[in-house]
Amino acid sequence: MTRADWIEVLVIAILAPASWLVWPFFAPAMPLWQLALGLSALLLAHSLVRDVAILLRSRSSASAGLRKEAQCFCLESTIGATGVAAGAILAALGLSIQVAIGRWHFVLAVAGTMVLAFAVKDLVISWNPLGLRREKDHLNLIVRWRGK
């Protein structure tokens, strides 16, 4: 693991337990759509912070200008966008299934979401050929929907 990975693990180890202090500001029961939207937003925010850190780190790097075309999409962004879309659809349909969230469940949901974001950070979904592959710091990929 790189130094950046260790820093990210440390931040997760600090923020996940710190969510214990934030729990009182949330309702003890919340609609399912709000839960899906909130956790997906957390996943996308985690990804955004990491991507900004990679961009800042690669500013001085000579390889920052190397671009590669690929028919793939970031798995982390796909999961986050799907969760946001599902939450928005549930909200639009007016489904207000209430989910009771205890303090421990809240902390575990936050920790689980952040660990999931860390676990899939380097994975991309490719469709030509179909599969899942690892692309380290895949910010320099240019997504092409069709091959040349």
Q: What is the per-residue pLDDT for 139?
A: 66
Long-range contacts of 15-20 (CB under 8 A, 24+ apart): 15/110, 15/114, 16/107, 16/110, 16/111, 16/114, 17/107, 17/111, 19/106, 19/107, 19/110, 19/111, 20/103, 20/106, 20/107
* pLDDT tens readout for residues 50-72: 888 887 877 766 555 567 777 77
Q: What is the per-residue pLDDT for 86?
A: 93
Residue of higher predicted confidence among 68 and 21: 21
* pLDDT tens readout for residues 88-127: 999 999 877 899 988 899 999 999 999 999 999 888 888 8
Q: Please state the pTM of the whole predicted model.
A: 0.84
